[in-house]
């Protein structure tokens, strides 16, 4: 729609249309956005508008020549309005807002809501990406930890296998040592027998002066009389720190009482100090085998007797039996504690 003000240029058009002077002309010669260019640049009128105008002009009783003049005048006004920019000054002709294909103006008005939803979805997508990256990093770290634990487990299994092999070798060596000791004992016995036969005399133990076990029974520990040999058993846990040859603070009082009983009851008899242990494996520490631990503990007692109690070194000797002579089944902590002991053996022989 185009509003044409009254100007000298529009006077012939107004006269042709029958518009009185001073009245603005309001024209709607064609539909906005539905024009095509002809060779002369004249817009093509819409079918609806053309039909309406033709009917209106015939209703006035105008001749065909008059109607053609009016049509030409309207075409001139349309061209004039297009070239002078009447669209910009026409309050009735406003450009429709641009829209996307397949959308309505109401959809365009809701675009800010869609934009906010899209922004929120993009934010959530970024958060999901960040979480995905974090989970990927945590998964990689977990896989590294699992691999590290697996390597440590394999290393511990190898170490346990090596320790088992060492223990088996130690047991075989102990068995071989026991056989060698029995062989040596048999050789000594045969030598003594041959010497007795050569000398024509028979050596027998002096049982007329049988040893009494009463001096040791007053100590409160287990005492056994084994056919002339007296055996005193003292738990090693009361004398040493567990798994070591270091005397505990309470060991001095116990050893002092034992030394006093031996000096009073058996001043001339030979005394053996025997170290016994349980069958627990030796993990780390100073001692590799139970024999080494038994030998170290018996030597510690001998050193205490000779230095603190002034007992003669020729009266004492040590033996390390390790786990070879248990008195318990080693199946419980109490039984293993019984096997860990120091035995004081009083022989009838004198020095």
Give the total number of structural domains in the chain. Answer: 3
In a domain, 157, yes or no: yes
Percent of the chain with pLDDT over 70: 64
Is the domain of 217 the same as that of 337? yes
In a domain, 313, yes or no: yes
Q: Calculate mean pLDDT across residues 273-287.
A: 88
Looking at residue 138, its pLDDT comes to 93
Is the domain of 148 the same as that of 67? no
Is the domain of 226 the same as that of 296? yes
- Evaluate if residue 96 carries a pLDDT over 50: no
Tokens coding 347 = 């022989």
Q: Calculate mean pLDDT across residues 42-56.
A: 51
Sheet holding 341-350, edge to edge: 222-225, 230-235, 341-350, 269-276, 316-322
* Rounded (5°) CA angle 276-280-286: 75
Looking at residue 49, its pLDDT comes to 52
Looking at residue 275, its pLDDT comes to 96
Q: How many beta carbons lie within 10 A of that of residue 7, not counting itself?
A: 12
Is the domain of 185 the same as that of 312? no
Looking at residue 210, its pLDDT comes to 63
In a domain, 180, yes or no: yes
State the pLDDT confidence band at 311, using cuts at 50, 70 and 90.
very high
Is the domain of 185 the same as that of 252? no
Is the domain of 264 the same as that of 141? no
Q: How far apart are CA 127 and CA 120, in angstroms?
A: 11
Looking at residue 349, its pLDDT comes to 92
**Between 321 and 75, residue with greater pLDDT:** 321
**Between 11 and 231, residue with greater pLDDT:** 231
Q: 253 vs 107, 239, 328, CA distance in Å?
A: 103, 10, 27
Number of Cα atoms under 13 Å in the Cβ half of residue 179: 6
Least confident of 32-46, 159-173, 209-223, 255-269: 32-46
Is the domain of 244 the same as that of 179? no
pLDDT digit string (tens) for 104-160?
A: 545 444 588 899 999 999 999 999 999 999 999 999 999 999 999 999 899 999 999
Q: 112 vs 2, 20, 119, 158, 325, CA distance in Å?
A: 34, 50, 10, 69, 94
In a domain, 107, yes or no: no
Is the domain of 37 the same as that of 167? no
Looking at residue 198, its pLDDT comes to 45
Is the domain of 243 the same as that of 294? yes
- Evaluate if residue 60 carries a pLDDT over 50: yes
In a domain, 57, yes or no: yes
Is the domain of 177 the same as that of 277? no
- Evaluate if residue 221 carries a pLDDT over 80: yes
Q: Is the dihedral of CA 99, 105, 109, 115 positive or negative?
A: negative
Reading phi first (left if > 0) and then psi (alpha if -120 to 50, else beta), residue 220 is in left
What is the DSSP pairing of strand 269-276 with strand 316-322? parallel
Q: Name the H helices within 277-322.
A: 290-307
Is the domain of 50 the same as that of 14? yes
Q: Calculate mean pLDDT across residues 8-27.
A: 48
State the pLDDT confidence band at 230, using cuts at 50, 70 and 90.
very high
In a domain, 111, yes or no: no
Looking at residue 324, its pLDDT comes to 92
Contact criterion met (CB below 8 Å) for 244 and 236 = no
- Evaluate if residue 14 carries a pLDDT over 50: no
Looking at residue 209, its pLDDT comes to 52
Residue 148: which domain range? 133-192
Of 43, 63, 93, the last residue of a domain is 93
In a domain, 108, yes or no: no
| CATH number reported for the structural domain that contains residue 329 in this entry | 3.30.1330.60
Q: How far apart are CA 79 and CA 10, in angstroms?
A: 12
State the pLDDT confidence band at 271, using cuts at 50, 70 and 90.
very high
Looking at residue 242, its pLDDT comes to 84
Is the domain of 154 the same as that of 274? no
- Evaluate if residue 75 carries a pLDDT over 50: yes
Report which DSSP code applies to 154: H
Looking at residue 283, its pLDDT comes to 78
In a domain, 120, yes or no: no
Contact criterion met (CB below 8 Å) for 76 and 13 = yes
Looking at residue 200, its pLDDT comes to 46
């Amino acid at each position: 729609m185009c509003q044409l003000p009254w100007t000298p240029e529009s006077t012939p058009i107004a006269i042709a249309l029958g518009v009185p002077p001073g009245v603005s002309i309001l024209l709607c010669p064609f539909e906005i956005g539905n024009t095509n260019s002809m060779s002369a640049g004249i817009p093509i009128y819409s079918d609806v508008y053309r039909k309406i105008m033709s009917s209106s002009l015939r209703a006035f009783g105008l001749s065909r020549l008059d109607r053609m003049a009016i049509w030409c005048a309207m075409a001139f006004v349309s061209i004039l309005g297009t070239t002078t920019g009447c669209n910009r000054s026409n309050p009735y002709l406003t450009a429709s807002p641009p829209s996307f294909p397949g959308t309505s103006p109401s959809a365009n008005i809701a675009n800010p809501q869609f934009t906010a939803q899209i922004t929120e979805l993009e934010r959530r997508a970024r958060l999901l990406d960040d979480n995905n990256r974090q989970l990927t990093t945590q998964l990689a770290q977990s896989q590294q930890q699992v691999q590290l634990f697996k390597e440590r487990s394999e290393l511990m299994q190898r170490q346990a296998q090596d320790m088992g092999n060492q223990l088996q070798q130690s047991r075989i060596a102990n068995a071989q040592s026991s056989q060698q000791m029995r062989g040596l004992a048999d050789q000594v016995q045969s030598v003594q027998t041959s010497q007795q036969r050569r000398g024509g005399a028979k050596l027998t133990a002096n049982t007329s002066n049988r040893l009494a076990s009463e001096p040791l029974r007053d100590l409160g520990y287990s005492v056994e009389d084994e056919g002339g040999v007296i055996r005193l058993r003292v738990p090693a846990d009361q004398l040493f720190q567990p798994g070591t040859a270091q005397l505990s603070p309470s060991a001095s009082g116990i050893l002092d009482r034992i030394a006093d009983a031996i000096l009073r009851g058996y001043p001339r008899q030979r005394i053996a100090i025997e170290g016994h242990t349980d069958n627990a494996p030796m993990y780390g520490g100073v001692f590799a085998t139970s024999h080494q631990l038994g030998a170290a503990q018996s030597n510690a007692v001998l050193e205490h007797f000779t230095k603190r109690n002034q007992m003669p070194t020729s009266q004492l000797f040590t033996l390390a039996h390790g786990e070879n002579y248990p008195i318990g089944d080693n199946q419980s902590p109490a039984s293993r504690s019984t096997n860990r002991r120091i035995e004081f053996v009083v022989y009838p022989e004198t020095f």
